[in-house]
Structure 1
Amino acid sequence: MARHPPPASQSAPLPSSAEPARHRSRSSRASGRVTLSDVAEAVGVSPMTVSRALRGERRVDPALVEKIRATAAQMGYVPDPAARALASQKSAQVLVLVPMLSNTLFVDLIEAVHKELFAAGYHALIGVTHYDRAEEEQLLRTYLPMRPAGLLLTGFDRSPAARALVAASKVPCVHLMELGDGSGTPSVGFSQADAGASITRHLVERGHRRIAFCAGQLDARVMQRATGYRRALQEAGLYDPSLELLWPRPTSMALGAELLDAALRLEPAPDALFFCNDDIAQGALLEALRRGLQVPQRVAITGFNDLPGSDQMVPPLTTIRTPRSHIGTEGARMLLKLIRGEPVDPPSMDLGYELVVRQSS
Structure 2
Amino acid sequence: MKFIRCLLILLIFICSTLVQASSNSQENHVYESFVDDSGCGFDYDYNSNVRLNWIHSNDSTLAAKQRAENLGAENCSTWINGAPTSNSNVDGITKLVETDLQVTLLWNHALGNDGKNSSELTFSGLQLSTSILPLENLSESLNMRWYITVDYDSIGDVIVHDLVKHYGWTSSFYHEEGNITNWTHEVSIERLQEDGLPTSEDELWRMEVVILFVDDLNHTIYGADKIQLEAPTNVPNSTAEKFPTILIGIVVIVGLLIIVRQDQRREIGLPRLRGTLYQNNNDSWYAKVMITAGIFDVTLKGAFANEPWKMGKVPTQQLIPAETSRSFTVKMKCSGIIGDTVPTHWKVDVDELGGWVLDLNLPIND
TM-score for the superposition, normalised by structure 1? 0.17
Structure with the higher helix share, 1 or 2: 1
Greater strand share, 1 or 2? 2
**Relative contact order (alpha carbons < 8 A, sep ≥ 6): 1 or 2 greater?**
1
